[in-house]
A = this chain, B = another copy of it.
């Protein structure tokens, strides 16, 4: 059984373990500050398939196969795959896992899909609905540009606030029990949609910062914890502009994340 604490946070009674995970990425990510952390990076992100959309499927499928291999678990033995992506109708994840024979739960959280899939997976493990589950997401710079901004062939100029959608995929295998050293998910907090009206597709950091601020603030209040109780408070896609706005918004709330917050888009920079 899970228990609700505060207004919206859920504490897991039997925190599930992340027994294995895999992260794959492209060339730009290899050259970035997290480059050494990926299991594998690829200079050719076409993966020899005819479209960027299929390349994204390949990345997702390969990440999942690698995570399952690390968990020493045949993919087909998983109780559930929870995944989503940025393509219309989440086609990347449904095609990536169509041949797996594993029950599938499609999720849509855009940049939050990895957190969302880990969250729902953890709750289903906590309550005994699954004994193993996989959480996954992926994106590809070239599909995301066509999808959300302009097709690459158009050669549009990028503004200083524009971010690069990652070419990469991540998969985590969760189990009800694991090794003592496996990381465990202890709390889940579903965020509330927070939209301050930013409509510039080239400034997603500003669009997302208010939601990140609300989620982190709500979580800290619900759990009665302070930023300094954590080694790291990580956001996914805020970039330079969004990270600055996040810290500013939280300061107004009396929360100081300086020194504790890191954003994957700017980590180590």
Contacts and interface: CB of A to CB of B under 8 A. Distances in A.
A129 B97 contact: no
Nearest to A97: B193
28 contacts: A1-B1, A1-B127, A1-B128, A2-B128, A2-B129, A4-B128, A4-B129, A4-B130, A10-B129, A84-B106, A84-B108, A88-B147, A89-B110, A98-B193, A100-B192, A100-B193, A103-B190, A104-B190, A104-B192, A105-B107, A105-B116, A105-B190, A106-B108, A106-B109, A108-B108, A123-B127, A126-B127, A127-B128
A94 interface: yes
A129 B1 CA distance: 8
For the complex of A and B, 3 pairs with smallest distance between CB atoms: A127-B127, A103-B190, A106-B108
A67 interface: no
A120 interface: yes
A199 to B, nearest CB: 12
B106 A116 contact: yes
A52 to B, nearest CB: 16
Contact of A3 (B94, B126, B128): B128
B102 A192 contact: yes
A interface majority secondary structure: mixed
Contacts of A86: 89
A90 interface: yes
Nearest to A131: B4
Contacts of A255: none
Contacts of A116: 105-106
Contacts of A102: 192
Interface range, A side: 35 or more
Contacts of A124: 2, 123
Contacts of A129: 2, 4, 10, 123, 126-127, 188
A261 interface: no
A33 interface: no
A99 B10 CA distance: 22
A191 interface: yes
A82 to B, nearest CB: 9
